[in-house]
Amino acid sequence: MRLLHTSDWHLGRSFHRENLLDDQAAFVDHLIDTVRAERIDVVAVSGDLYDRALPPVEAVRLFGEALRRIRDTGARAVLISGNHDSMVRLSYATDLIDAAGIHVRSSLEDVGSPVAIDDEHGTVAFYGIPYLEPEIARPRWELQRRGHAAVLGHAMDLVRADLAARPAGTRSVVLSHAFVSGGEASDSERDISVGGASHVPVSVFEGVDYVALGHLHGRQTMAETVRYSGSPLAYSFSEEHQVKGCWIIDIGPGGVDTAEFAPAPVPRPVARISGRIDDLLTGERWERYTGHWLQVTLTDPLRPAFPMDRLRERFPHTLVLDFAPDDRSPEDDATFRQRTADRSESELVLDFVDWARGAPPTSEERELVAAAFEDIRLGEAAR
């Protein structure tokens, strides 16, 4: 059996206010091409199908189209909800959708009840463990311990109990949306910590043949049979060096035979660059970034005038602009209290004008600030 493991589609998400729906649709095209070319039997999607519990209509439409096209290839699909999804909404009419070969597992009641899919070697049991909010799952399962490790540990106990009752030779795949200890996070995952504890040990998944993880946006191998596929697109600048795509897993009669990563196309790469504005606008070494989504850090000693407008003339997809002067003096490391101890209120305002504009205030501006503080002083004296 050939399994394609993907996750964290986040349909409907934007990137610094840039709409990504067309890029997400391009990924769906690539996914379908891969399913056909690689003769995939089952597509496993490990949560965060949408970017929020109430996704926009266009995202719902794209999701429905993706499922229909997967089914048209002849493949089956098993999907779970993630921490960005609504468990209740994704659970709607799942018994009817099952009949089409699309299996959405998004409720506590389904944990431990697999989707059984047969191949020439027998049955592969697919167990869906959606994202488990500890304080929702714990009382439902009447658990004493709190936290992610407790609820996911119980979920895996249910999986192992069901698997033990099945015929010998039954192979198993678990889909889980969780933060496994040792995984490397990026800036685009939503924090799922509860009481400071969000991680679960990889050992919690012992006893099954393959674990298809979701939540972390970079592909990662936590163990030979426990992997994150990562998100299909970069959703933060911290992901600039990640290779996006999906895992293709071959499951033989004894479990996983091979695991190969299939890269996805990059509609527009992301990058972080820094330097002085004149160099960025003229230097040949920056030419390769003209088509990237960019986070730019300017290191000029003085803040340039109209920096974003000027940068976008060469780099039209600049989205984030930061300033970090490269000639910081020891005085720059002093505390705010130390730097302002001997400065009057009007001087602080003028200092701000100098800092924000990169040029000292004019005489007219100095007079305006002085008059404003004099009015304040007189008003306070009259109270």
Integer Cα distance of 105 and 92 in angstroms: 10
DSSP letters for 138-176: HHHHT-SS-SHHHHHHHHHHHHHHHHHTSPTT-EEEEEE
Domain that holds residue 273: 269-327
The whole-model pTM stands at: 0.84
3-state secondary structure of 190: coil
Q: Do residues 255 and 208 make contact, with C-beta atoms less than 8 angstroms apart?
A: no
Q: What is the model's pLDDT at position 258?
A: 97
Integer Cα distance of 337 and 57 in angstroms: 51
Say if residue 311 is in the same domain as residue 235.
no
User: How far from chain centre, in Å, is Cα 342?
Assistant: 46
Q: What is the model's pLDDT at position 196?
A: 42
Say if residue 67 is in the same domain as residue 209.
yes
From the CA atom positions of the chain, what is the Rg in Å? 27
Say if residue 11 is in the same domain as residue 71.
yes
User: 89: which residues sit within 8 A by CB, 6+ positions away?
Assistant: 53
Say if residue 72 is in the same domain as residue 95.
yes
Q: Do residues 51 and 84 make contact, with C-beta atoms less than 8 angstroms apart?
A: yes
Q: Could you read off the pLDDT tens digit of each residue along the chain, which spans 383 residues?
A: 999 999 999 999 999 999 999 999 999 999 999 999 999 999 999 999 999 999 999 999 999 999 999 999 999 999 999 999 999 999 998 989 999 999 999 999 999 999 999 999 999 999 999 999 998 999 999 999 989 999 999 999 999 999 999 999 999 999 999 999 989 888 888 777 544 457 899 999 999 999 999 999 999 999 999 999 999 999 999 999 999 999 999 999 999 999 999 999 999 999 999 999 999 999 999 999 999 999 999 999 988 999 999 999 999 999 999 999 987 655 555 555 666 666 788 888 988 888 777 678 898 989 899 889 878 877 765 65
Q: Do residues 5 and 212 make contact, with C-beta atoms less than 8 angstroms apart?
A: yes
Tokens of 216: 């972390």
Integer Cα distance of 120 and 203 in angstroms: 30
Q: What is the model's pLDDT at position 358?
A: 67
Long-range contacts of 107-111 (CB under 8 A, 24+ apart): 108/132, 108/136, 108/137, 108/140, 108/141, 111/155, 111/158, 111/159
Q: What is the model's pLDDT at position 351?
A: 84
Q: What is the model's pLDDT at position 357?
A: 74
Give the residue carrying structure tokens 């040029």.
359
User: How far from chain centre, in Å, is Cα 5?
Assistant: 16
Tokens of 356: 């924000």
Residue 204 sits in a domain of what CATH number?
A: 3.60.21.10
Say if residue 20 is in the same domain as residue 97.
yes
User: 117: which residues sit within 8 A by CB, 6+ positions away?
Assistant: 1, 41, 42, 76, 123, 124, 126
Closest CA to 155 of 204, 117, 223, 203: 204
Q: What is the model's pLDDT at position 330?
A: 53
Tokens of 87: 């468990």
Say if residue 251 is in the same domain as residue 372.
no
Tokens of 238: 């911290």
Integer Cα distance of 5 and 181 in angstroms: 20
Say if residue 321 is in the same domain as residue 217.
no
Q: What is the model's pLDDT at position 381?
A: 57
- Among the candidates 245, 263, 281, a domain finishes at 263
Say if residue 245 is in the same domain as residue 311.
no
Say if residue 16 is in the same domain as residue 148.
yes
Say if residue 162 is in the same domain as residue 214.
yes
User: How far from chain centre, in Å, is Cα 310?
Assistant: 31
Domain count across the chain:
3
Say if residue 84 is in the same domain as residue 120.
yes
Count each helix (H run) and each strand (E run) in the chain, helices first. 11, 19
Closest CA to 112 of 154, 78, 159: 159
Q: What is the model's pLDDT at position 195?
A: 44
The single-letter code of the amino acid at 224 is E
- Among the candidates 228, 263, 298, a domain finishes at 263
Integer Cα distance of 102 and 66 in angstroms: 11
